[in-house]
């Protein structure tokens, strides 16, 4: 049986890669290929950036005002809402995440387009009360030009929305490159972009591998900005290349987030928070609470409760609503997680749950790994320091607040942190002392279009979501107009 063949979108036209080559994308549940994706290279990068550049400089988009851009974004939001179910099915098929989560995500997705659509015509310049006489000085916010959005496989359409919505609201044009493991949803979404009425070339979608089309896009001299979400190593490569071209970047990279349970917490709630932090999305999230710091006085009781709860997690077919833990999305990720389980064992940590691949026969032939909990973990162990990006939890005991803060911050990352306590004093002080872009107290894994998201330290640069994120796609211009009747001395700085 031949597989459906998808096409890329460049300058309003659907077409194959310039080379005509394709590659297979698989269904992580079955491990079977199910579609063919164009394998783009430098020639496609050139065509896509040229189309985006032409649309930015001379196309109808250049003459579109902010209110019109807002209306287009809201129309796109409506179309997404109408197509949420079909897009969720595609995501599940291509990335193996749960239908329950993907449907919630695709239904939530329109909010990014409504929010930034609404914001588009509220970005105002200022009139500067300048100290200079005889001059009128004001500011304007202007788009950067051609932006490139590089997206990973774990939440393809959601993470794309975080980039696309503010970039378009600000008036940029864009080239989108989804992950080679999950390209289909972006291509299907491209049909809605067309239907919404965005002029050709405003949004271009190309597919392929990071080191091929990805690198070619980042290097292209006509690209003004790269918005990247992915792993730290690829992020560093993108940053180096962007630096050579003096380009703007936002980077959202990984994490090793501490989820801290104090002895005054409501333990049942904290157990659910710990589970949601590491086993939701099969642990494949940048905000995974992969280091669980538990106060010594409740350590054993808490671990017992946690293991009992985690044991009930229903693993299986991600397209069923009752499933709670799905497969691992990519083959390299599957191998990486199993390697880290072996590393944890060799470092002397104790496995109290899981620790091996799940029975393939029982679970659709795909890439399943049992929810795994290590206890007796020291914070300097590799399983406590390196991002695993899978259902593997390291439990680390601590004595008091001082030690909790020290261990929590002893990491190269700083994306998120969780705190479980009933003490308001403790909540406020911990939120202040934890070095992370997001701190959750008595909750975990909450994100919204309204609230800034991004990393401290090696977890990233810049912020996504929230009103300020639009400025990541704008540049400020200062305009001086003389109101003087006489021209002052031309040899002296005005």
Beta strand 223-229 pairing with 146-150? parallel
Residue 180 sits in the site that holds ligand TXE (CB under 6 A): yes
Please, what is the minimum distance in Å from the beta carbon of residue 389 to ligand TXE?
4
Compute the distance between CA of residue 289 and CA of residue 314 in angstroms, rounded to an integer: 20
Binding segment for ligand TXE among 127-135, 232-240, 403-411, 477-485 (CB under 6 A)?
Answer: 232-240
Q: Which is nearer to ligand TXE, 241 or 421 (CB)?
A: 241
Please, what is the minimum distance in Å from the beta carbon of residue 283 to ligand TXE?
10
Residue of 232, 286, 386, 464 marked active site:
286
Sites for ligand TXE among residues 72-111 (CB under 6 A): none
Residue 286 sits in the site that holds ligand TXE (CB under 6 A): yes
Residue 175 sits in the site that holds ligand TXE (CB under 6 A): no
Residue 152 sits in the site that holds ligand TXE (CB under 6 A): yes
Q: What angle do CA 277, 283, 286 make, to 5 degrees?
A: 80
> Catalytic: 40?
no
Residue 336 sits in the site that holds ligand TXE (CB under 6 A): yes
Residue 256 sits in the site that holds ligand TXE (CB under 6 A): no
Please, what is the minimum distance in Å from the beta carbon of residue 154 to ligand TXE?
5
Q: Which is nearer to ligand TXE, 55 or 223 (CB)?
A: 223
Residue 318 sits in the site that holds ligand TXE (CB under 6 A): no
Q: Alpha carbon 54 to chain centroid distance? A: 28
Please, what is the minimum distance in Å from the beta carbon of residue 259 to ligand TXE?
17
Q: Which is nearer to ligand TXE, 44 or 387 (CB)?
A: 387
Compute the distance between CA of residue 76 and CA of residue 161 in angstroms, rounded to an integer: 11
Q: How many residues bind ligand TXE (CB under 6 A)?
A: 28
Residue 387 sits in the site that holds ligand TXE (CB under 6 A): yes
Binding segment for ligand TXE among 65-73, 231-239, 271-279, 398-406 (CB under 6 A)?
Answer: 231-239
> Catalytic: 252?
yes
Q: Which is nearer to ligand TXE, 230 or 354 (CB)?
A: 230
Choosing from 84, 151, 292, 419, the residue that interacts with ligand TXE (CB under 6 A) is 151
Choosing from 169, 238, 407, 439, the residue that interacts with ligand TXE (CB under 6 A) is 238
Please, what is the minimum distance in Å from the beta carbon of residue 252 to ligand TXE?
5
Residue of 101, 252, 370, 464 marked active site:
252
Q: Which is nearer to ligand TXE, 148 or 306 (CB)?
A: 148
Residue 462 sits in the site that holds ligand TXE (CB under 6 A): no
Q: Which is nearer to ligand TXE, 218 or 260 (CB)?
A: 218
Residue 187 sits in the site that holds ligand TXE (CB under 6 A): no
Choosing from 229, 323, 421, 438, the residue that interacts with ligand TXE (CB under 6 A) is 229
Residue 150 sits in the site that holds ligand TXE (CB under 6 A): yes
Residues belonging to the active site: 252, 286
Binding site for ligand TXE (CB under 6 A): 150-154, 177, 179-180, 209-211, 214-215, 218, 229-231, 234, 237-238, 252-254, 286, 333, 336, 387, 389
């Amino acid at each position: 049986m031949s597989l459906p063949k998808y096409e890329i979108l460049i300058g309003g036209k659907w077409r194959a890669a310039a080379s005509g080559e394709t590659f297979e994308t698989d269904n992580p549940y079955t491990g079977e290929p199910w579609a063919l994706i164009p394998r783009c290279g430098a020639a496609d990068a050139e065509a896509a950036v040229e189309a985006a550049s032409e649309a930015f400089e001379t196309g109808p988009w250049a003459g579109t005002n902010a209110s019109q851009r807002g209306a287009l974004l809201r129309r796109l939001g409506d179309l997404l809402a109408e197509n949420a179910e079909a897009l969720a099915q595609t995501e599940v098929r291509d990335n193996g995440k749960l239908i329950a989560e993907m449907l919630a995500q695709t239904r939530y997705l329109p909010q990014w387009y409504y929010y930034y659509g609404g914001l588009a015509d509220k970005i105002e310049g200022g009139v500067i009360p300048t100290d200079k006489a005889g001059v009128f000085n004001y500011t304007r916010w202007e788009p950067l030009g051609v932006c490139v959005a590089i997206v990973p496989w774990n939440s393809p359409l959601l993470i794309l929305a975080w980039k696309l919505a503010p970039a378009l609201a600000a008036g940029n044009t864009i080239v989108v490159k989804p992950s080679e493991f999950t390209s289909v949803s972006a291509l299907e979404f491209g049909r809605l972009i067309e239907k919404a009425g965005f002029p050709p070339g405003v949004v271009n979608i190309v597919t392929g591998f990071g080191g091929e089309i990805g690198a070619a896009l980042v290097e292209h001299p006509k690209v003004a900005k790269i918005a990247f979400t992915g792993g730290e190593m690829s992020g560093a490569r993108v940053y180096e290349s962007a630096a050579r071209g003096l380009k703007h970047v936002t980077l959202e990279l990984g994490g090793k987030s501490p989820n801290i349970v104090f002895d005054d917490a409501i333990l049942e709630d904290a157990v659910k928070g710990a589970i949601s932090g590491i086993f939701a999305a099969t642990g494949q999230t940048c905000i995974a609470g992969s280091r669980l710091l538990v106060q010594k006085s409740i350590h054993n009781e808490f671990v017992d409760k946690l293991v009992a709860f985690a044991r009930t997690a229903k693993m299986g077919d991600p397209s069923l609503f009752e499933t709670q833990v799905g497969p691992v999305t990519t083959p390299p990720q599957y191998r990486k997680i199993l390697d880290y389980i072996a590393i944890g064992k060799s470092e002397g940590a104790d496995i109290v749950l899981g620790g091996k691949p799940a029975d393939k026969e029982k679970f659709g032939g795909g890439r399943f790994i049992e929810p795994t909990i290590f206890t007796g973990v020291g914070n300097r162990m590799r399983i406590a320091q390196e991002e695993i990006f899978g259902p593997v939890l390291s439990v680390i005991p601590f004595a008091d607040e001082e030690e909790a803060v020290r261990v929590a911050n002893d990491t190269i990352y700083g994306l998120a942190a969780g705190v479980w306590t009933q003490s308001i004093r403790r909540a406020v002080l911990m939120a202040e002392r934890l070095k992370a872009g997001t701190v959750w107290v008595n909750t975990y894994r909450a994100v919204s279009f309204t609230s800034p998201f991004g990393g401290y330290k090696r977890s990233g640069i810049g912020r996504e979501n929230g009103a300020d994120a639009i400025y990541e796609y704008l540049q400020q211009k200062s305009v001086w107009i003389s109101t003087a009747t006489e021209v002052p001395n031309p040899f002296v700085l005005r």
